[in-house]
Structure 1
Amino acid sequence: MSIAVPTDELASTVARYDFAYLLTIGDDGRPHVTAVSPVVTDTGLVVGDLGRRTRGNLAARPVVTLVWPPGSAEGYSLIVDGGSSLSGDALVVTPTRAVLHRPAAAPDPGPGCGADCVEIPTVAEGD
């Protein structure tokens, strides 16, 4: 089942954050983290100024995660998973999942994700 990306909702959510971290996976299986400033466009989330290691990781493993940290300890992090492709000097991330996440207020929230999460609908990968 496909769920359309509410691009305007993702764009307005991203606009509340100053920067993000781009996570790629290296040849040794460890994450490589880079601070970036993604821009929401009609084609996805566009990231420029990619380094040599990031480009190499993307060529071998195009699945990425973007994490926008909260502005305060009580705020939400925005986490976006997606597929990616290089387009000239830029990376285009096609979101497959987006969630606003913060630690749970209660020490034992019971069943569920164990935190205060808000899903943001995205297009299913491959659509």
Structure 2
Amino acid sequence: MLDRVLPILMLVGSNVFMTFAWYGHLKHKSAPLLITILASWGIAFFEYSLQVPANRMGSAVYSVVQLKTIQEVITLVIFAGFSAWFLGQPLKWNHYAAFALIVGASFLMFYQPDAKPAG
């Protein structure tokens, strides 16, 4: 069980760091661009410190396609919360509808139909 859950928790942590690295500076637009880039790189180091081992461990129990799908869903959830909480840009109905479609598509990545028809 831990071998399935730990990579996902690490992906959540890595996505929190990366969201701040990519978008956190938008709240501080007066900061010099070079300082912003260097700060983002520094934050991204912690993202990579979680992302790389999460993918390595996760590949033992998930396919690469499944890992990427998990990461993308986590990214959207983290970004949605970040956008509303940190940047003050709440989601609208169409964002929720689009997210529901992505979750449906993600289900298909994990769906494994039987190879032989029953009967």
TM-score bracket for the superposition, by shorter chain length = under 0.3
TM-score (norm 1): 0.25
Length-normalised TM-score, structure 2 = 0.26
The structure carrying a bigger strand percent of its residues is 1
* Structure with more of its chain in helix, by fraction: 2
Report which of the two structures shows the higher radius of gyration computed on alpha carbons: 2
